[in-house]
Amino acid sequence: MKEKVILAYSGGLDTTVIIPWLKENYDYDVVCVCIDVGQGNELDGLEERAKASGAVKLYIEDVVEEFVDDFVIPCVKAGAVYENKYLLGTSMARPVISKRLVEIARIENATAICHGATGKGNDQVRFELGIKALAPDLKIIAPWRIWDISSREEEIEYCKNHGIDLPFTANNSYSRDRNLWHISHEGLELEDPANAPDYDHLLVLGVSPEKAPDTGETVTISFVKGIPTALNGIESKASKIIEKLNEIGGKHGIGIVDIVENRVVGMKSRGVYETPGGTILMEAHTALEELILDRDTLAYKKGIGDKYADVVYEGKWFTPLREALQAFVDSTQEYVTGEVKLKLYKGNIIKQGTTSKYSLYNESIASFTTGELYDHKDAEGFINLFGLSLKVRAMKQQTIKE
287-317 per-position pLDDT tens digit: 999 999 999 999 999 999 999 999 999 999 9
The verdict on whether 94 is a catalytic residue reads: yes
Mean pLDDT of all residues in 96-120? 97
The verdict on whether 184 is a catalytic residue reads: no
Mean pLDDT of all residues in 369-397? 90
Query: Residue 363: its pLDDT value, please?
Result: 77
Q: Which of 69, 70, 175, 359 is catalytic?
A: 175
Please state at what angle helix 152-161 crosses helix 13-26, rounded to 10 degrees. 50
- Residue range 176-293+336-355 in CATH 3.90.1260.10: yes
Query: Residue 371: its pLDDT value, please?
Result: 66
Q: Which of 94, 100, 178, 270 is catalytic?
A: 94
The verdict on whether 126 is a catalytic residue reads: no
Q: Which of 123, 222, 270, 356 is catalytic?
A: 123
Query: Residue 324: its pLDDT value, please?
Result: 98
Q: Which fold has domain 4-171?
A: Rossmann fold (3.40.50)
Closest listed residue to residue 92, CA positions, set 114, 116, 121, 68: 68
Runs of H (alpha helix) within 72-134: 73-78, 89-108, 123-134
Measured distance CA(67)–CA(73) in Å, rounded: 9
Q: Which of 10, 14, 29, 239 is catalytic?
A: 14
Convert the pLDDT of each residue in 242-281 to its tens digit: 999 999 999 999 999 999 999 999 999 999 999 999 999 9
Runs of H (alpha helix) within 197-275: 199-202, 238-251
Query: Residue 264: its pLDDT value, please?
Result: 97
Percent of the chain having pLDDT more than 70?
Answer: 98
Query: Residue 370: its pLDDT value, please?
Result: 63
Query: Residue 276: its pLDDT value, please?
Result: 98
DSSP-assigned letter for residue 74: H
The verdict on whether 175 is a catalytic residue reads: yes
Question: Domain ranges in the chain?
Answer: 4-171, 176-293+336-355, 367-401
Convert the pLDDT of each residue in 129-169 to its tens digit: 999 999 999 999 999 999 999 888 899 899 889 888 777 77
